[in-house]
Structure 1
């Protein structure tokens, strides 16, 4: 009975097809070729020659690695294969030059996945609802939309003060929030993202396009007063209507909301609010320290055995 782990390539797709995952529709099968190239990796854990667990990671801005795509063959549950695989993959990610943080994002109700992430040393950061709608007009106050900000220096000031400096969580893409660092805010991104500022110049909004099967206008607002700021939703709606004219297929507004922010919405709010996603992660320095402590603990136990 042997276990092996190796990186997968496009020719390994039949191995995924042969797994009994219990998933009727699996997006990973549709995009498998993309998940084994570029900044994406997939690994398989094999037991007696059969792939029984699969997972991988995607690299963002050469600094972050997000674990995901965990699939398990239900016939082999309870053997710790998924834990062993993710632990191995996290080690592989931290060996890559430049990677300073590894994390994972899983739904709150996915208790098995949360237990695995805890076992491999990841800690929870925050829980975010993916608030999605096609019409947020009922949140409008009748105020004028906010003023567009075009100066790159002003955009840098916004993100540094409210995200980088406090190390806040920044939703870089739909489903992919990260602890903020300068690496997330490249000049080209800041130029392409739309920034807006309220009249009092004490609030700002970022909007940017994204696509995860459907098209989304990703609206990012780093305060909790989402129902109290006059002109905020007028600004979002204006951008959304313009964006919708440029896209084919279903197009939505997407905003990441904490539980407290979701609870502050009126009872007749227009958002679809599925179970929140919990962001887990660890910095490389913390991971290395945890490995050092574990190594010393094992060495101490071994020395006691020698003494006995």
Structure 2
């Protein structure tokens, strides 16, 4: 049996098309060219020339590699090919200059993917609920919106307050959270993200735009009083309405909620709450120890 793992190129799209993954309208097919260029890579595991598993990684802030896009041909399942491919990609990512952390994100209900993460040595970092809505009226209190923060240093100060310990996880994009670090908070991003603070300057809010399948106003608020803070949702609603005027197609508010925040929602809330996402990862020193033990 001839088995190889290699990086994929444009002329490998036919291999992806020939796989029986059971996934209809797979976004990996739609954006294949994007996923093999720039800060993205795709890899395939081949048996006798037939691609039986595919996956990849994306680089963020020059420091983080996020594994994902894992697909397996249903005709070859049960042979641990997905685990082998994920392990290979993790090791390849750590060979890149500057990479200090490798992780993966999967839904809690995806037990098969979770087993793969654990087998290759990724530990659990956080569990977040990706809550989406288009209706915030339930949380409106008639209170005036919060005050914009435009000074770059003030934004950095707020980020230091909001993510002030080693266990903090920052939702950098929809679906993609990372251990918080200064490398994630580049000046160019901070100038594009909107920051707001309440009158008492005890709480801050970040909003930014994102697009996956749909358009999103991505809301970042790490405190547990997300429902009780007066003026918070009025501020979010203003930015949401601005975004809707700028976009075509479906547009939603996306908030990454902790378990405590999710449990604080009233029973009649208007959020869609799919199975929570679990962030797995390993830093380079820990990976080096695992790598040494393996050999």
Specify the TM-score bucket, using the shorter chain as the normaliser. Answer: over 0.9
Unaligned runs of 5+ residues in structure 1 are 296-308
The aligned runs of 1:224-303 (5 Å cut-off) are: 224-295=224-295
Q: How does 1:94-105 map to 2 (within 5 A)?
A: 94-105=94-105
Aligned residue number for residue 222 of structure 1: 222
Alpha-carbon distance in 2 for matches of 1:263, 1:75:
41
In 1, the alpha carbon distance for the partners of 2:214 and 2:204 equals: 26
| Residues 225-268 of structure 1: CA deviation (Å, up to 9, x unaligned) | 11110111011001111111111111111000012211210011
Pick closer, same or farther for the CA change 1:164–1:90 going to 2, 3 Å. Answer: farther
Q: How many residues align?
A: 295
Alignment of 1:189 onto 2:189 = yes
Shift of 1:25: 2.1
Partner of 2:32: helix, strand, or coil? coil
Matches within 5 A, 1:123-142: 123-142=123-142
Is the alpha carbon distance of 1:198 and 1:158 closer, same or farther for their aligned partners in structure 2, counting shifts above 3 Å? same
RMSD: 1.0
CA distance in 1, matches of 2:154, 2:165: 15
- Structure 1 length-normalised TM: 0.94
1:35 alignment counterpart: 35
Unaligned 5+ runs, structure 2: none
Cα separation, 2, equivalents of 1:168 and 1:271: 24
SS in 2 for 1:274: coil
> In the alignment, what sits opposite 2:211?
211
Q: Which residue of 2 aligns with 1:24?
A: 24
Q: Give the whole-Å Cα distance in 2 for the aligned partners of 1:249 and 1:76.
A: 38
Question: Do the aligned partners of 1:167 and 1:181 also contact (CA within 8 Å) in 2?
Answer: no
Query: Is contact 1:6-1:45 (8 Å) kept?
Result: yes
Contact in 2 for aligned 1:164/1:181 (Cα 8 Å): no
Moved more, 132-141 or 98-107: 132-141
Return the alpha-carbon distance in structure 2 between the equivalents of residues 176 and 128 of structure 1. Answer: 11
Q: Which residue of 1 aligns with 2:52?
A: 52
**2:227, 2:200 → 1: CA distance?**
17
- Residue 87, structure 1, aligned to residue 87, structure 2: yes
Q: Deviations over 1:262-297 (max 9, x none)?
A: 1210011011111111100010111001222333xx
Q: Relative to structure 2, which stretch is displaced further, 192-201 or 256-265?
A: 256-265
Q: 1:89 and 1:204 mapped to 2: Cα distance?
A: 37
**Structure with max Cα Rg:** 1
Equivalents in 1 of 2:167, 2:190: separation in Å? Answer: 18
CA positional deviation for 1:222: 1.3
Change in Cα spacing, 1:153 to 1:83, as seen in structure 2 (3 Å) is: same
Match of 1:301 in 2: none
TM-score, normalised relative to structure 2? 0.98
- The Cα shift of 1:173 comes to 0.3
Tell me whether 241-250 or 114-123 shows the greater mean CA deviation. Answer: 241-250
Instruction: Give the match for residue 158 of structure 1.
Output: 158
* CA distance in 2 between partners of 1:271 and 1:81 (Å): 37
- For 1:303, the equivalent position in structure 2 comes to none
User: CA shift at 1:164, angstroms?
Assistant: 5.2
What's the counterpart of residue 171 of structure 1?
A: 171
